[in-house]
Amino acid sequence: MKKSIIIFLIFTIFFIFAPPFLVKYDKTQQITSVEASKKDGVNTEVTNNEIKENESKVSENKVDNEKDEDITTFSSNTCFKKTYYISGDRVNIYEDSTGKDKVIGYLKKNDVIVAYEEKNGYIYCENNVGNKGWVRKNKDNLTGSNYKATQYKVDINITTQKMNITKDNKNIKTILCSTGEVGNADTETPIGVFYVQEKGSYFYSSKYNQGAKYFIKFFSNYLIHSIPTDKNGNIIEEEKKKLGIPVSHGCIRVPMEDSKWIYDNIPKGSMVEIHY
């Protein structure tokens, strides 16, 4: 009987005093586990924050790019020139970018301009007839598109130095050409969508001591014309050998027979699209 009582007391004492020790042990393990979990959680949170931050940056860049694309359609990282299209009914051309706003001319809706410089929220640009000045860069003045389908289309790929001519969306002629020297602000051919403005059978430039036959004008002084000729109208053989290489002063050169075909067959108002 006494033995049974002693055993009972031993078990009773054990159950009374043992739990705190057991709880302390489990709590220690739990704290270690929580600390580890917390540590992992912090790392995960940092990683997630970094991802969100990067996504935010990408999103911001995307928004900026989208904003820029709203008004700048044709440009690239290697281009000095950017092509814009006028969206306002009457957009002023200013003498400078100081904000004094001395007007020296204006542009009409759908006019094409090529910009050479950007400063103080203005762009320094040239219009269809070669006049230059500063225009405020905003969506009220500029748009990113001026596309209107035409029966004939002249498509120039600067990368391949190939010209494709289509009629009613069907390719009818492919021509090897030479565009402006790339990487030079004075000579690169502007990229964008333009429309044939004028035609001519011959011109000569005393500045370059070169001329050409059978040209069509698509923007300012930019033309599609024959291989350069001398002052007597003879083809310059040295220039003929450069066909297929971007070496012009900004115009687009094609073989003599092709320039004659273009002159005879491509009507004014036809689209000229230039791209990489």
What kind and span of H or E run contains 203?
strand 198-205
- For residue 251, indicate whether it is catalytic: yes
Residues 265, 156, single domain; the answer is yes
Residues 195, 129, single domain; the answer is no
Instruction: Catalytic residue, from 125, 177, 225, 249: name it.
Output: 225
Residues 240, 157, single domain; the answer is yes
| Residue 43 lies inside a defined structural domain of this protein | no
What CATH number corresponds to the domain at position 103?
A: 2.30.30.40
| Residue 118 lies inside a defined structural domain of this protein | yes
Q: How far is CA 253 from CA 19, 129, 152, in A?
A: 96, 21, 19
What CATH number corresponds to the domain at position 255?
A: 2.40.440.10
Q: Where a domain ends, among 117, 143, 169?
A: 143
- For residue 249, indicate whether it is catalytic: no
User: What would the pLDDT profile of 221-261 be if each residue is shown by its tens digit?
Assistant: 999 999 999 999 999 999 999 999 999 999 999 999 999 99
Residues 219, 266, single domain; the answer is yes
- 187 burial type by CB count under 10 A (0-12 exposed, 13-18 middle, 19+ buried): middle
User: Residue 78 carries which DSSP code?
Assistant: T
| Residue 191 lies inside a defined structural domain of this protein | yes
d(CA 157, CA 250): 14
| Residue 2 lies inside a defined structural domain of this protein | no
| Residue 159 lies inside a defined structural domain of this protein | yes
Number of domains in the chain: 2
User: What would the pLDDT profile of 176-200 be if each residue is shown by its tens digit?
Assistant: 999 999 989 899 999 999 999 999 9
Residues 99, 196, single domain; the answer is no
Instruction: Catalytic residue, from 79, 125, 177, 251: name it.
Output: 251
| 223 Rama sector, left if φ>0, alpha if ψ -120 to 50, beta otherwise | beta
Domain that holds residue 125: 82-143
Under 8 Å between Cβ of 120 and 100: no
d(CA 115, CA 143): 13
Describe the strand order of the beta sheet including 90-94 as a list of residue ranges: 103-108, 90-94, 132-136, 122-126, 112-119, 82-86, 142-143
| Residue 213 lies inside a defined structural domain of this protein | yes
> Lowest mean pLDDT: which of 43-47, 73-77, 167-171, 207-211?
43-47
